Each structure stands twice: as C-alpha cells, then as structure tokens.
Amino acid sequence: MAPTHERLAMHLKHPVAFLDRDGTIIVDKHYLSDPGHVELENGAADGMRALAAAGYALVVVSNQSGIGRGLLTREQVEAVNARCDHLLRQQGVVVEGWYLCPHAPEQDCGCRKPAVGLALEAGRDLELDLGRAIVIGDKRSDVELGLALGVTGILVATGHGMRDLEWARAAGIPNFADLGQAAAWVVAQDRARGGVPAAGAPK
C-alpha cells in the first residue's frame, strides 16, 4: 500500500514510529490471508493515537515471508493491510505508509527486518527524520531494527513478544504489555525532555 501523504508536509523533520503489524497492531493469525479475520491487538489504536498526537508519523514495516514461501500472494497481504487501515481509521488513526518485505529468510534481501531497507525507503518517501525514530514490535528483529538505525527499539508482549521478553529484560530493552503501554512510555519520555523526541535510545 502506497504512502497516504495526507499529512506529508507536517512530517518534514518529524519523528517516525516504525510499527510491526502482526502481533503488534493486529492479532497474529499465522500467514493471515483473509481480510475478514483482521482483529486489532489490545492497546493498538490507543497507542497509535497517542504517538500521532505527540508528533510521530505512523509507518508500518512488516516481514511477510509467506509471500516468498508461496503461502500468500502480495495482493492478499495488501488486502489485509487495507482492512487493517480501515479499522484503524474508524478509531481515528491514520497510517502514513505500509511497507512490507515479501522475501523468505534464505533470500538474503536488504529489506527483511532487522535490515534497514524498509525504514530507509519510508524515510525517502515521506521525508522523515530517521534519527528521531522509534521501533515497536513483538519480535527481537523489530528491536534489532531500532538498534541498526541507532534509535530506540521497544518490545511488546503481545503476539510473539513473550518469547523474547527474557532477552529484552536482560539486555535492558524497554518492554511493555502492549502498544498502548509502549506509546505511553514514549510520550512520557518525550515530555521529560521538553516535548522533543531525542535521537537514539533514551538515557
């Protein structure tokens, strides 16, 4: 799905929240191909509204290896994205861009998280300040995308998050029950810095 550009002018030099899809924004249903089965995760809409209100552009970056494995078509994945977008808009949330990696892990691409390809593409498309990004997701690869960009990566315990929770805690990675709680923490950190998101991980 192409960037919406609805508020593009507002986002010049604005921070961006890179968000995972399955297990973070919507319930992970394992290679989901039916838009009718899309269900928003706990806290997702609330968290995304809070981030947008704090000045973050909302961008979804998602590994969709089911395409590369022959289990899904790109059209099916984009139909699921469209349904997710519709449900979020009903909750007052506008996603500025939807980006996906269609490759299987063994294809050794530059866009499968934690590689930075999707983030760089979004940064070019939407003229975002990647130095003030945050990354939120339910997998270690999401957190490691943040590390690769030199910014804060946050783990949520929805989806597959419990699997990497012990690792995150041992590594001092911010971790929260869901996207809503993660967003509340991000906004509180920004307020403590005078309302300006800082580059890199919070001190």
Alpha helices in the chain (DSSP H): 44-53, 65-68, 74-90, 117-126, 140-149, 161-171, 179-192
Picking from 81, 76, 57, the residue whose alpha carbon sits closest to that of residue 132 is 57
Residue 194 tokens, joined? 């005078």
Active site residue 20: yes
Spot the catalytic one: 20, 46, 138, 178: 20
Side-chain half-sphere of 132: how many Cα atoms within 13 Å? 21
d(CA 23, CA 86): 18
Active site residue 178: no
Picking from 70, 69, 86, the residue whose alpha carbon sits closest to that of residue 1 is 86
Q: Is the dihedral of CA 103, 108, 113, 118 positive or negative?
A: negative
Side-chain half-sphere of 154: how many Cα atoms within 13 Å? 28
Alpha helices in 65-108 (DSSP H): 65-68, 74-90
Give the residue numbers annotated as catalytic, written as ranges.
20, 22
